[in-house]
Amino acid sequence: ILNVEQSPQSLHVQEGDSTNFTCSFPSSNFYALHWYRWETAKSPEALFVMTLNGDEKKKGRISATLNTKEGYSYLYIKGSQPEDSATYLCAFMTGNQFYFGTGTSLTVIP
Amino acid sequence: AAGVIQSPRHLIKEKRETATLKCYPIPRHDTVYWYQQGPGQDPQFLISFYEKMQSDKGSIPDRFSAQQFSDYHSELNMSSLELGDSALYFCASSLDGGYYEQYFGPGTRLTVT
* Rounded CA separation A21/A75 (Å): 5
Sign (positive or negative) of CA dihedral B76, B41, B94, B97: negative
Alpha-carbon span B105 to B97, nearest angstrom: 17
Contact yes or no for B45 and A97 at CB 8 A: yes
User: How far apart, in whole angstroms, are the C-alpha atoms of residue B2 and residue B46?
Assistant: 24
SS3 for B83? helix
What is the pLDDT at residue B104?
A: 92
What are the chain A neighbours of B50 within 8 Å (beta carbons)? 96
List the single best residue of B101, B108, B109 to mutate versus A (max A Cβ within 10 A). Answer: B101
Note down pLDDT in tens along chain B; length 113 residues: 679 999 999 999 999 999 999 999 999 899 999 999 888 777 888 998 988 888 878 888 999 999 999 999 999 999 999 999 999 999 999 987 667 888 999 999 999 99
Categorise residue B81: left if φ over 0, alpha if ψ from -120 to 50, beta otherwise. beta
What is the percent of chain A with per-residue pLDDT over 90, rounded to a whole number? 75
Rounded CA-CA distance A63/A75 in Å is 6
pLDDT at position B98, please?
63
Instruction: Say if CB B39 and CB A78 are below 8 A apart.
Output: no
